[in-house]
Chain A
Amino acid sequence: MSFIRRLGVTAVAMAALAGPAMAEDITIGIRSEPSSMDPYFHNLGPNNAMIGHVFARLVDFDSNQQLFPSIAESYKAIDDTTWEFKLRQGVKFHDGTDLTVDDVIYSFERADGYTGGNSSFRIYTKGKTLTKIDDHTLHISTEKPYPLMPNDLTTVMIMSSEAKGTGAPDTNKGIEASDFNDGTATMGSGPYKFVEWKKGDRIVLEKYEDYVGPLSQPWDKVTFRFIPSEPARVAALLAGDVDMIDNVPTSDIATLQKNKDVSLSDGVSNRVIYLHLDQWRDNSPFVTDKDGNPLDKNPLKDARVRKAISMMINRPAIVERVMEGVALPAGQLLPDGFFGRSPNLKPEKYDVAGAKKLLAEAGYPDGFGLTIHGPNDRYINDAKIAEAIGQLLSAAGIPTKVVTMPKNVYFSRASKGADGKPEFSFVLVGWGSGTGEASSPLKSLLATHDPDKGWGASNRGRHTDPKVDALIGEALATVDDAKRGQLLAEATDIAIGENQGIIPLHYQVNTWATRAGLTYNSRTDERTLAYDLKPAN
């Protein structure tokens, strides 16, 4: 088999020498299969990446999550509450019809009213009013000033208002998820056309010849194959069955680097791995004395104790040994280069003596017992990181048990437990900022847990500080970028620097591997996109 395949590659190469470029096909082995081709069904990483080939967005993120106009040719805020978007001329859907403002409005309506999805895009569409000025001019207004307008628009993909489904016309414009999955309604204006989806096996896309827009189209036919097992994915690349793989396991990177037939590209992601500590219960279930008996109060409520735990963690060593060098030590919510970072916060220095002094100050000179809970199939090396933390704390005088479990059990227990409250005391979690700036993690992880406001949804330690809440609130209403960045940085300084509301560990670095002769433009948003894969020069 693989010789036939190799012969094929040679034939292509020879043809390329002989004359103008011939059809170039590419096969990419990815870990996660999307759950749907419906752009509004499920706001999920693999979906947003895959569907983004077929459906374009008004504004899009480049590989560093910097904004660039896509279907929109340009955009600007014309007053405090209204943004104007000019659509590119000549953009056509895959069936040849023109893309106009009507399609954009139709798409927003379907996204906003979506019923039956698994986390809709409503959080990005709500409160926005779309007004058609002409076929290529759109005004979007909000009641209050809203600085994240362009960021929000990177999430909603634009579908054709003439796409036909087979379902009942009253829900989701009469188009069901299955209509997208079989291609009936998969009508976008992106650089690639949908060909087929063999569930559990592959998705095939084909170059859209009449594409108009800023994205490149380096391949004629793209096949995404789903290979969930990590070593098998690496093996598929080494065997020549696929041309690129994503999520290269850290344990294999050193070996692959030595392999001349493979080239690697890695880049830091927008995902921070951190620890959340119970800051709201007076008696936390998994904090005990050293013999495992309950304590009369919860030491984790004391910021000094949290700080001490942070100082007991040797971040560079974890990065070096556990992550095999493929991660960056973290001191806050986002790595360098992202919007809203604090210039003051550096990764905490490893200082056991200092930590013990702080513990003694807080009234725990002999330490106490702790259990860390973490997932074992969610983040890169998650179980190993939890174990390393357990080792470090145990050696520094806080005997720590390590419990890891699959994400399906872990997250509902970590967030809701049996009584709707977080069940654990000390958890390992990660957060990727979908908006590419600091307000998203601040709002979800460190703002006071408040269901009515929609804040603190993932605040599993229930950190709360009115100053932080006020700063986030002010930032979210400040359109001026410089000022907003400052407010977010200030909020981060208080929430992490002073309060140690969470303990950041490291930023994940994602790695892609290609066969020699190709190069992948690594992305902070962890997406694997065929148009970011190019022949190496």
Chain B
Amino acid sequence: MTAIQEETVVEDTAADRKNAAVQTPFRRILSDFMDSPVAVLGAFGVIVVIFIAVFGPWLAPTDPYDLSSVSFMDNLLAPGETMANGTVAWLGTDGAGRDLLSAMIYGLRISLGVGVGSGIIALIIGCTLGMIAAYFGGRTDMVIMRIVDMQLSFPAILVALILLAVVKGGPNEPGYFAVLKIIAALVVVQWAYYARTIRGSALVERRKEYVEAANCLALSNGRVVFRHLLPNCIAPIIVVGTMQTAHAISLEATLSFLGLGLPQTEPSLGKLISNGFDYVMSGKYWITVFPGLALLFMIVSINLVGDRLRDVLNPRLQK
């Protein structure tokens, strides 16, 4: 095994050297990325998902969030049956009579927004605090890490419940308000995971020569942390990041399952799956299987891209 592997590494290196002269870093990353067919497939998937998310309202056959047009008289139709208004429900309808295809297209937008939105915010907060804790150490580290401990022990459901009870919506609460509440709950729950992981990696990096060298050059703390420490911790950040994004999406489904998710009448993909949970024993497979497949497609795509990016961006894998 070693022989073959060394060979590929040598080849890669040679190719890199050849291209290095003519390529900007971005192009190098892009060409590296394109080397993996699986990753390209993933990227294609991500583009499809983003396309659906952006153009959803124009793609969907019906508006599943318009209560006056959705009727429970159409509920539980099997795939291919026709609804009362003449539209064919290609993927069937759910328990409330929504066309499942339309509901999935709309739900995908929400799930993607919730997952990526909460993931990015949590990542920024978590990484910053994790870096600071590792770099400065001492009392700063102690305070941050004890907050992390507390945060890790605080269950998402309790955070969501407190938000639900405390941030009371009036009659004019806009629809996105509920989404923001869920994002807030997910950020609160997730940032600590980033902080803990980043701190672990940064602690190791901190002792390495290049950081000491940077310190010797009397570079500012911020510069050392963000220009030197951060890039070298990028691999675990991406691993945790892509996983946590996926996890956030399924956590949102779990919150829905526990009755604390998004509004009943504007379901996300996760909420559709958890609604389908009531029907798993009933033989009405489509209610839970199709949204499940859509969720799977989205998360697998994101992670294929994430996996490749991690390899491509990791300075230590480049020779």
Per the CB under 8 Å rule, do A and B touch in the complex? yes
Residues of A within 8 A of B (CB): 230-231, 234-235, 238, 249, 251-252, 254-255, 285-288, 292, 317-318, 321-322, 369, 371, 376-377, 383-384, 386-388, 390-391, 394-395, 399-406, 408-409, 413, 423
**How many Å lie between the Cα of A322 and that of B281 in the bound state?**
17
Residues of chain B within 8 A (CB-CB) of A404 are 259, 263-264
Which 3 pairs between the two chains have the least Cβ-Cβ distance?
Answer: A394-B68, A394-B67, A406-B259
**How many Å lie between the Cα of A409 and that of B181 in the bound state?**
16
Chosen A-B contacts, 16 in total, with CB atoms closer than 8 Å, are A231-B281, A235-B281, A249-B278, A251-B281, A286-B171, A292-B171, A322-B95, A377-B259, A383-B259, A387-B67, A391-B97, A394-B67, A401-B265, A403-B264, A406-B260, A409-B161
**How many Å lie between the Cα of A317 and that of B74 in the bound state?**
11
Flag if B278 contacts A391 (CB, 8 Å).
no
Flag if B169 contacts A403 (CB, 8 Å).
yes
**How many Å lie between the Cα of A235 and that of B165 in the bound state?**
34
Flag if A390 contacts B171 (CB, 8 Å).
no
* Least distance between B178 CB and chain A CB atoms (Å): 9
B55 on the A face (CB < 8 A): no
Given contacts A255-B281, A317-B73, A406-B161, is CB(A376)–CB(B96) below 8 Å?
A: no
Given contacts A234-B281, A377-B259, is CB(A408)–CB(B73) below 8 Å?
A: no
* Least distance between B167 CB and chain A CB atoms (Å): 12
Residues of chain B within 8 A (CB-CB) of A386 are 264
**How many Å lie between the Cα of A406 and that of B265 in the bound state?**
15
Partner pick for B280 among A231, A390, A399, A403, CB 8 A cutoff: A231
Partner pick for B265 among A286, A292, A390, A409, CB 8 A cutoff: A390
B226 on the A face (CB < 8 A): no
Residues of chain B within 8 A (CB-CB) of A409 are 161, 164-165
**How many Å lie between the Cα of A285 and that of B169 in the bound state?**
11
B283 on the A face (CB < 8 A): yes
Flag if B279 contacts A388 (CB, 8 Å).
no
Flag if B68 contacts A387 (CB, 8 Å).
no
The dominant DSSP class at the B interface is loop
B5 on the A face (CB < 8 A): no
* Least distance between B286 CB and chain A CB atoms (Å): 13
Q: Which residues of chain B (61-98) have a CB below 8 Å from chain A? A: 67-73, 75-76, 95-97
Please classify how large the interface on chain B is, using the bins under 10, 10 to 19, 20 to 34, 35 or more: 20 to 34
Residues of B within 8 A of A (CB): 67-73, 75-76, 95-97, 161, 164-165, 168-172, 258-260, 263-265, 277-284
Q: Residue on A with the closest CB to B278? A: A251
Most buried by B among A285, A292, A409: A409
Flag if A321 contacts B72 (CB, 8 Å).
yes
* Least distance between A331 CB and chain B CB atoms (Å): 21
Partner pick for A376 among B172, B264, B277, CB 8 A cutoff: B264
Query: 16 additional contacts, CB 8 Å, given A292-B171, A321-B97, A390-B67?
Result: A231-B278, A231-B280, A285-B171, A288-B171, A321-B76, A383-B259, A384-B95, A387-B72, A387-B265, A391-B97, A395-B68, A399-B68, A402-B265, A404-B259, A405-B259, A406-B260
Flag if B67 contacts A252 (CB, 8 Å).
no
Residues of chain A within 8 A (CB-CB) of B282 are 251-252, 254-255
**How many Å lie between the Cα of A393 and that of B270 in the bound state?**
27
Partner pick for B67 among A238, A286, A400, A406, CB 8 A cutoff: A400
Given contacts A402-B67, A406-B258, is CB(A251)–CB(B279) below 8 Å?
A: yes
Most buried by A among B67, B161, B263: B67
Given contacts A255-B281, A409-B164, is CB(A322)–CB(B260) below 8 Å?
A: no
Flag if A408 contacts B265 (CB, 8 Å).
no
Q: Residue on A with the closest CB to B279? A: A251
* Least distance between A11 CB and chain B CB atoms (Å): 29
Residues of chain B within 8 A (CB-CB) of A231 are 277-278, 280-281
Q: Residue on B with the closest CB to A384? A: B95
* Least distance between A453 CB and chain B CB atoms (Å): 31
Flag if A321 contacts B171 (CB, 8 Å).
no
**How many Å lie between the Cα of A45 and that of B315 in the bound state?**
64
**How many Å lie between the Cα of A249 and that of B172 in the bound state?**
34
Residues of chain A within 8 A (CB-CB) of B260 are 405-406
Residues of chain B within 8 A (CB-CB) of A400 are 67
Residues of chain A within 8 A (CB-CB) of B281 are 231, 234-235, 238, 249, 251-252, 255
Flag if A292 contacts B75 (CB, 8 Å).
no
* Least distance between B63 CB and chain A CB atoms (Å): 12
**How many Å lie between the Cα of A229 and that of B314 in the bound state?**
44
* Least distance between A469 CB and chain B CB atoms (Å): 32
Q: Residue on A with the closest CB to B66? A: A394
Given contacts A251-B278, A318-B72, is CB(A384)–CB(B96) below 8 Å?
A: yes
Residues of chain A within 8 A (CB-CB) of B76 are 321
* Least distance between B173 CB and chain A CB atoms (Å): 9
Flag if A391 contacts B264 (CB, 8 Å).
no
Residues of chain B within 8 A (CB-CB) of A318 are 72
Q: Residue on A with the closest CB to B160? A: A406
Q: Residue on B with the closest CB to A386? A: B264
Residues of chain A within 8 A (CB-CB) of B279 are 251
Flag if A322 contacts B171 (CB, 8 Å).
no
Flag if B265 contacts A321 (CB, 8 Å).
no
Q: Residue on B with the closest CB to A425? A: B171
**How many Å lie between the Cα of A253 and that of B277 in the bound state?**
15
Residues of chain B within 8 A (CB-CB) of A406 are 161, 258-260
* Least distance between B98 CB and chain A CB atoms (Å): 10
**How many Å lie between the Cα of A288 and that of B168 in the bound state?**
17
* Least distance between A163 CB and chain B CB atoms (Å): 39
Residues of chain A within 8 A (CB-CB) of B164 are 405, 409
Flag if A317 contacts B72 (CB, 8 Å).
yes
**How many Å lie between the Cα of A371 and that of B260 in the bound state?**
18
**How many Å lie between the Cα of A258 and that of B1 in the bound state?**
57
**How many Å lie between the Cα of A235 and that of B73 in the bound state?**
29
**How many Å lie between the Cα of A321 and that of B95 in the bound state?**
9
Partner pick for B75 among A255, A321, A423, CB 8 A cutoff: A321
* Least distance between B276 CB and chain A CB atoms (Å): 10
Residues of chain B within 8 A (CB-CB) of A387 are 67, 72, 96, 264-265
Residues of chain B within 8 A (CB-CB) of A369 are 171
Partner pick for A402 among B97, B171, B259, B263, CB 8 A cutoff: B263
Flag if A401 contacts B171 (CB, 8 Å).
yes
Residues of chain A within 8 A (CB-CB) of B69 are 395
Partner pick for B68 among A234, A249, A285, A391, CB 8 A cutoff: A391
Flag if A402 contacts B161 (CB, 8 Å).
no
* Least distance between B70 CB and chain A CB atoms (Å): 6
Flag if B73 contacts A255 (CB, 8 Å).
no
**How many Å lie between the Cα of A222 and that of B76 in the bound state?**
38
* Least distance between A355 CB and chain B CB atoms (Å): 15
Residues of chain B within 8 A (CB-CB) of A408 are 161
**How many Å lie between the Cα of A391 and that of B263 in the bound state?**
14
Flag if A230 contacts B264 (CB, 8 Å).
no
Residues of chain A within 8 A (CB-CB) of B70 are 391
